[in-house]
A and B are shown apart, each in its own frame.
Chain A
Amino acid sequence: MSETQSKSSVKAKIQKFGTFLSGMIMPNIGAIIAWGFMTAIFMSPNGWFPNKYVNSFTSSMLYFMIPILIAYTGGKNVYEERGGVVGAISVVGTIVLGFPWASPVAQGIVYPTLYPYAANKSTGIPMFLGAMIMGPLSAWCLKKFDEKFQGKVKAGFEMIYNNFSQGIMGMIFVAISYFLVGPLLVISTIWIGHGVDWIITRHLLPLANLVIEPAKVLFLNNAIGNGVLVPLGIQQAAKVGKSVLFLMESNPGPGLGILLACSIFGKGSAKSSAPGAIIVHFFGGVHEIYFPYVLMKPMLLLAAMAGGVTGTFLFSILGGGLTAAASPGSIIAILLVSAKSAYFGNIVGVFGSAAVSFIVAALIYKMDKSEDGGDLAAAQGQMSQMKAAAKGQAAAEEDSSSAETTVASYKDVQRIIFACDAGMGSSAMGASLLRDKVKKAGLNLPVTNTAVRNLKDEPGLLVITQEELAERAKEKTPSALHVAVGNFLSTPKYDQVIARLKAASQAAPEAEIKEEKQKQVDKLAKQKQFDFDFAAVKEVDFIRHDQHRGTVTMASSMFKDAMKQAGKKTPVKAVRINELTNDPSHLVIATPAAAKNLAVRYDQIQVATVNDLLKTDELKGLIEKLK
């Protein structure tokens, strides 16, 4: 029982890893297609419309553009734009090691033993694999670094911290990629090449595909094809007029079979995108397009290997072979360079390998569907999680929600983001207020701010927005907790959020509640008892005083609000001291100093003195008795 469990979890892990890898490639398929078609159409001398000027930059697309895009995407998948940029920086260290024309480096000055490719100036290693390693790795490290230090940055220094930590992290990782990861990749590519070489010299040709197919899927197709097979093929073709070696990597059959199986038996976006991929792959010769399908479902490697072995076997016994390298590996290019006597063998080989890989791939897809139990369970788990998140969301909206449900969801909060329209002002203010409160509460949570459009849905997020933006924020981050505030400065919600976070982290909400109650008791005690002739009061006045005009405006406004909340109708006014009439219909609220002035002028007016006009709590008792 436990064995099957661990088996399925290993499988799930492989699956997850494959999805992670293909997630770096999928968004960049467009770039790969652009490069592939440019190469197929303009390559000189074998293209459809050879053009050496265009041809001269297609290799830059292959060696620079695509790896940088992949590294960026890989980094971004791990840690948003910040991770993307650091990933793009880091990959350059491997790119220059694989680039065939990079001057002193590829000439072997730094790592002389690593550059058998440097001599053959047309073949380098496009560092797709390097990108798939460096991008996520550097982004992950930056993420960990930020988790440790970002919360400790003083307000106002965020930009400096952000840019410099990113730059320095990029610098470190570009060095790591140049001195460590790059050389390892170059060495392993060479070893894989040696392996293929060894198999070929032992005349075990079909077995070579057991190495070639997995290497292809890891984007080593160019290194194996042009680096190992083509040079050997050229020697052989020079002797006997044709060579099977040209076909071993460029055979589009295995990829065709896999894509066909996917478009029939696959699911979701893979299924719907596979037919288009077939055209690009089979007629355009851009094999890269099927690699992510295999990465998503690593079992499909078996299909690719079976197809590859079959193809090479059929080419060998049926006398197939090409007179020159078929590059790119499209069916058109293969037919163009087929030896005259070899058409039959080549066509049978390509379609035979397609048929075999189709059958194996179909079986794999089918098998996966029938034993969907594990997936289903996972999906169900996800569903319940989503439901819980949705519940938490609802709970956050309702202030009156019971403590239990909110505690459960607040427990998962890992960071708080304030979102506003431009990310320029209001959210920054809100964030610094809450950051202060979080710190004082002894919680260890990063609080940042951003523009709504930059929000990204990720686990453990608490998003705080203004009510007007709540809709947009929810669209962007459906699985996050949301709190909408009327305004960022004076909202009781911050304290609620803090209390809930605290309750969730300490699991001791009773103490909080007690504290809260104590506070209320204190507040009540603060309320003054007033003894006035309330029946006579027709108007509450605040005195405008030249030195404190602002305060009076604010105090009267707050008092008005408090009256409104209590449902009282007596008008509230702010007046100059000489605008009052001397009778008890006026109840004046004033500071002790102002009260003295009043007493000099009027003797009938009722005066309530308070030390601080803005502490409306103290005036609650007064409001209660007013009309």
Chain B
Amino acid sequence: MKLHKEMIKLNQDVATREEAIRMAGQLLVDNGCAEPEYIDAMLARNEDVSTYMGNFIAIPHGTDEGKKYIKKTGISVVQIPMGVDFSDPDTDEEQLVTVVFGIAGLGNEHLQLLSQIALFCSDVSNVAKLADAQTPEEIINLLDKVGEN
């Protein structure tokens, strides 16, 4: 599978991680990947176990029970250049996130893209490229290259 232009939102300013997750989830809902209830499942999962992955990346996705609200597999991208703190509000540790990947995964078809994202984002300067990207195409191309070598 590939990322779709319509599912990438650039230059967003959000104040809280909840807002960021909702935005990524809304993209999934708007593009017919999930029912609106899935967003709540995404928030629930993040409460349970943080979806912060390190390197300024978060990959919010639903809980196991939330899988029933997924209509088809899809990945959304929300770029937040100013960053948003994904850490637990109770702690004073900061977990800044600049790129959010919202995931609705049925079966395993999203795993290849996810693994590309993981390999790409394991280098923080690559994350910076995603966080600086000016057009959706730039993000798609950046991630596309990963599989090639």
Contact = CB atoms under 8 A, between A and B. Distances in A.
Main secondary structure of the interface of B (DSSP, over half): mixed
B90 interface: no
B41 to A, nearest CB: 9
B125 A429 contact: no
Interface in A411-466: 420-422, 424-426, 428-433, 436, 451, 453, 466
A554 B96 contact: yes
Contact of A554 (B50, B114, B128): B128
A551 interface: yes
Contact of B62 (A424, A453, A549, A553): A424
Contacts of A421: 45, 48-49, 63-64
Interface string A264-297: 0000000000000000000000000000000000
B59 A426 contact: yes
A272 to B, nearest CB: 35
Contacts of A547: 132, 134
A452 to B, nearest CB: 10
A490 B109 CA distance: 24
B61 A424 contact: yes
A424 B105 contact: yes
Nearest to B81: A549
Given A547-B134, A553-B81, A159 B50 contact: no
B114 A428 contact: yes
A396 to B, nearest CB: 20
B15 interface: no
Given A425-B51, A488-B53, A554 B83 contact: yes
Contacts of B83: 550, 553-554, 557
Given A469-B49, A489-B54, A549 B115 contact: no
Contacts of B134: 547
A155 B117 CA distance: 12
B121 interface: yes
**Size bracket of the B interface:** 35 or more
Nearest to A616: B124
B53 A553 contact: no
Interface in B52-99: 52-57, 59, 61-64, 66-67, 79, 81-83, 94, 96, 98-99
A207 to B, nearest CB: 59
Contacts of A550: 79, 81, 83, 98-99, 128, 130-133
A58 B131 CA distance: 65
Contact of B131 (A155, A420, A424, A554): A554
A489 B96 contact: no
Contacts of B49: 420-421, 426, 466, 468-469
Contacts of A382: none
A491 interface: yes
B112 interface: yes
Contacts of B45: 421-422
A16 B19 CA distance: 57
Interface in B25-65: 45, 48-57, 59, 61-64
Given A425-B61, A451-B64, A468-B48, A551 B128 contact: yes
B125 A612 contact: yes
Given A551-B132, A553-B131, A426 B53 contact: yes
B103 interface: yes
B88 to A, nearest CB: 10
Quick one: which of A486, A549, A550, A558 has the most chain B CB within 10 A? A550
A431 B118 CA distance: 9
Interface in B122-144: 122, 124-125, 127-128, 130-134
Main secondary structure of the interface of A (DSSP, over half): helix
A359 interface: no
Contacts of B66: 422
Contacts of B63: 421-422
Quick one: which of A554, A557, A558, A560 has the most chain B CB within 10 A? A554
Interface string A148-192: 000000111111000000000000000000000000000000000
A553 B82 contact: yes
Contacts of A613: 128
Quick one: which of A156, A425, A560, A614 has the most chain B CB within 10 A? A425
Contact of B52 (A154, A159, A430, A487): A487
Interface in A198-254: none
B54 A429 contact: no
A432 B61 CA distance: 18
Contacts of B62: 422, 424
B138 to A, nearest CB: 12
A548 interface: yes
Contacts of B112: 154-157
A554 B51 contact: no
Given A487-B53, A487-B54, A489-B53, A433 B131 contact: no
B113 interface: yes
A102 B119 CA distance: 54
A428 B115 contact: yes
A229 B105 CA distance: 59
Contacts of B132: 547-551
A614 B124 contact: yes
Interface string A550-589: 1101110110110000000000000000000000000000
A429 B118 contact: yes
A423 B3 CA distance: 21
A614 B118 contact: no
A487 B56 CA distance: 11
B48 to A, nearest CB: 6
A488 B54 contact: yes
Contact of A489 (B57, B82, B130): B57
A548 B62 CA distance: 31
Contacts of B53: 426, 429, 487-490
A551 B56 CA distance: 10
Contacts of A159: 107-109, 111
Nearest to A553: B83
Given A424-B61, A550-B79, A550-B81, A490 B55 contact: yes
B10 to A, nearest CB: 10
Given A422-B45, A422-B64, A614 B111 contact: no
A468 B64 CA distance: 16
Interchain residue pairs A-B with the least CB separation, the first 3: A156-B112, A550-B131, A432-B115
16 contacts: A156-B109, A158-B111, A159-B108, A432-B111, A469-B49, A487-B54, A489-B118, A489-B121, A490-B124, A550-B83, A550-B131, A550-B132, A550-B133, A551-B128, A613-B128, A614-B128
Interface of B: 45, 48-57, 59, 61-64, 66-67, 79, 81-83, 94, 96, 98-99, 103, 105, 107-109, 111-119, 121-122, 124-125, 127-128, 130-134
